[in-house]
Chains A and B, each alone.
Chain A
Amino acid sequence: MKKSMNLIIILAFMGFNSCNYTVYQEVSMKSASTVQVELSPELNLELDDFMSTDNENTLYVNVINGEQCFTCAPVFLMVAEKLVNANIPSENLVYIFPSKRKVLQKDFLKENFGLDINKVKVIFSDEVYDLIQNQYALEGNSNLLCLNQNKELLSKTTYQRANFNELFSVIP
């Protein structure tokens, strides 16, 4: 019994995706990197309605493909809670997901992020998701981006199963 339990726990820590075991742990805090990126006119046009603010506050953009990180669910939920509790104006907080049928969108947001679809700026679009992925070199991962008013990248933090502190460090 003990032997098989050890195997199970080792597998979970290895991130063996086919298993039903979800593990996350605390890790040490790292400072977020700052990168300057020039946006293409095409992307600006596509996202202008969603990613623009009238204020000078940081724009928080969650670019998330939940299907590619099987162990990130608690991280997604806790970061979403933290962003809500930080009282960030709704116009400064955007969620971008790959396309999803309309009938799924409301429950998906509620179950995975504890969010009301009517109260957040959210885009479900393969096209927009791809554009953002390529523009900011996100390498297929889910990320929390911080942008300034000119949509210049201030920081890029990747969602992983254990990096609460790193993600929390960029939220006021």
Chain B
Amino acid sequence: MKLAICTLTALLLLSACGNNLRFEPLKSVDLVEHENLYIKDLPREITTINDSLVAFLNANEAIYILNVNSGVIINSICPDINFTQFLEENVNLSDTLIPYDLSKHPNKFVRQYPLFKINAFNYQNNLFEILMTITNPLYANGLVTIDFASIIIGCDITGKIISTDLVNLYNKKDLDHLFMAEDGLVFLPDSHVFYIKSLNKKLSNSIVSRFQLVDKTFEFTNDILFPVTDMYTLKLKESSIVNISYVFKRFYDQIYFTNGQDIYSVSKGTKLVSTSAFEASDSFHLIKSFEIIPKAINKTKINHFAYVEDVVPNPPVFNQSNKYLVITNKKGNEIQKRIPIGRIISGLSFQNNRIVFMEEVDDKILIHKYLIK
């Protein structure tokens, strides 16, 4: 009888724990910033380098490498490339747009307009692959800036350039698409393939496009269309407040992305996680970023999805959104943990059994870590 009660109690406890999810907050660390090295915007995506280092994009200007244990930014990478020379050598200028020289323009804003930006990067095998866009500002009855050419730069952790390749976004085949280079990128260096967000002409279809390195140029090879019949189209004012954009993640040979509403598997072409966004009339529920948690370190099987859920009042109100850290089961269809984590939150990174993210509070940035097994 006693044994039966003990067994029953143990079973009850196990079922209460449900999935055996181990989830504990670890000590937070203050991020160290100074006048020459500071974070302009908390990043939407954080990439794990090793057990203590992460990398992220700082406002399209540089890649920062941060030690999450000490809180010190140890390096800032911005590839130094002569864009004029690169274009002359790699682009048939007579066949496309001619870059304008605005360095002597009387207007200070036009003179200072940056001629490039870093859109996204991927880190793998000690190599950064950085997607940069050369912009072409034109001043004629106003300022029009056009993305002129995109390049993939390979560099090591010190910023030393190893390779430069042109991305052919203006191929004739691509006329039906608008490529959103600033909105997510995942790169597979072994196969020289990268995936990027694009939109069709009607701007209504959610597409992931695939580019492959062919004869020294990345060329569009195909796109993968996802079910979008249930996509909610935000009005302009709403979209400027909730700021939806894509986040891509690579998990071994699989590619996943979120469009702000759901998490999809690129290879399977299916929806995995949904916030049931927009169902509630009084709020929007968005996925701002996500991470894939494996069964164990170096294991290729998924154990959980973790994501940052943003709850924005409907209609959106300035400064009134709250973020939650949500952990689901391996299929993504059951929420196992949902905790409030503040208002201004970065993307997530999974590092050595820890979920790592940053929070901006008043005048400082905190690095939070949660043990998850």
Contact = CB atoms under 8 A, between A and B. Distances in A.
B142 interface: yes
A25 B145 contact: no
Contacts of B175: 3-4
A168 interface: no
Contact of B146 (A21, A70, A81): A21
B248 to A, nearest CB: 15
A166 to B, nearest CB: 15
Given A8-B178, A130-B319, A21 B144 contact: yes
A17 B38 contact: no
B3 interface: no
Interface stretch (A29-37, A98-106, A149-157): A98-106
A169 B188 CA distance: 54
Interface in A18-46: 18-26
B234 to A, nearest CB: 10
A47 interface: no
A85 B143 CA distance: 22
Interface residues of B, number: 43
Contacts of A103: 33-35, 38
Interface residues of A, number: 43
A4 B170 contact: yes
Contacts of B174: 4
B87 interface: no
Contacts of A26: 141-142
A4 B141 CA distance: 21
B50 interface: no
A30 to B, nearest CB: 18
Interface stretch (B4-12, B160-168, B237-245): B237-245
Contacts of B236: 15, 17
Given A25-B142, A77-B108, A104-B40, A20 B182 contact: yes
B260 to A, nearest CB: 11
16 contacts: A1-B96, A3-B175, A4-B174, A15-B236, A18-B245, A21-B145, A21-B146, A22-B144, A68-B318, A74-B109, A98-B319, A99-B362, A102-B363, A103-B35, A104-B40, A126-B319
Given A20-B181, A70-B240, A130-B319, 7 more contacts: A7-B178, A8-B146, A11-B203, A17-B239, A22-B143, A23-B142, A77-B109
Interface of A: 1, 3-5, 7-9, 11-12, 15-26, 65, 68-70, 73-74, 77-78, 81, 98-99, 101-104, 114, 126, 129-130, 133, 140, 162
Interface of B: 33-35, 38, 40, 96, 108-110, 117, 133, 135, 141-147, 170, 172, 174-175, 178, 180-183, 201, 203, 236-237, 239-241, 245, 318-319, 360, 362-365
